[in-house]
Amino acid sequence: MGEKTRYVGKIDTDEPLLLQGPVEGEIRSSSEVEVGETGVVKATISARSIVISGRVIGDCTATDKLEIRASGKLSGSIHAARIVVAEGAEFKGTSQMAASHRS
């Protein structure tokens, strides 16, 4: 979704998703969700993997990995099998690691 596209509601997809603009609501993906540097997301995110380079306000659940890159900011809880927080990234909230459900 582009930088100038604003979306409010629920997104449910099996495809990788790149968010470059403002999104509010709920996001579910059986693949990857990436919040680009210009993305501002106020939502609950559930996905296989989540990559944050922009700003996220909300709880995130990743069955595989959640990564906050140096430019990323997350306010909310994290539930993930693996968590990566780059130097310079901002995280305010709680985190819980659980074993991956991959077979």
Give 55-92 as a DSSP string.
EEES-EEEEEEEEE-TT-EEES-EEEEEEEE-TT-EEE
Instruction: Note whether residue 100 is domain-resident.
Output: no
pTM of the prediction?
Answer: 0.91
Instruction: Note whether residue 99 is domain-resident.
Output: no
31-80 tens-digit pLDDT: 999 999 999 999 999 999 999 999 999 999 999 999 999 999 999 999 99
Q: In 3D, which of 28, 36, 49 has the Cα closest to residue 1?
A: 36
Domain limits for position 38: 7-92
- What is d(CA 76, CA 91) in angstroms, rounded to the nearest whole number? 8
Instruction: Note whether residue 103 is domain-resident.
Output: no
Instruction: Note whether residue 69 is domain-resident.
Output: yes
Whether 94 shows a pLDDT value over 60: the answer reads yes
- Contact criterion met (CB below 8 Å) for 34 and 20: no
- Contact criterion met (CB below 8 Å) for 48 and 85: no
Give pLDDT, residue 3: 74
Whether 102 shows a pLDDT value over 70: the answer reads no
- What is d(CA 41, CA 38) in angstroms, rounded to the nearest whole number? 10
- Contact criterion met (CB below 8 Å) for 81 and 97: yes
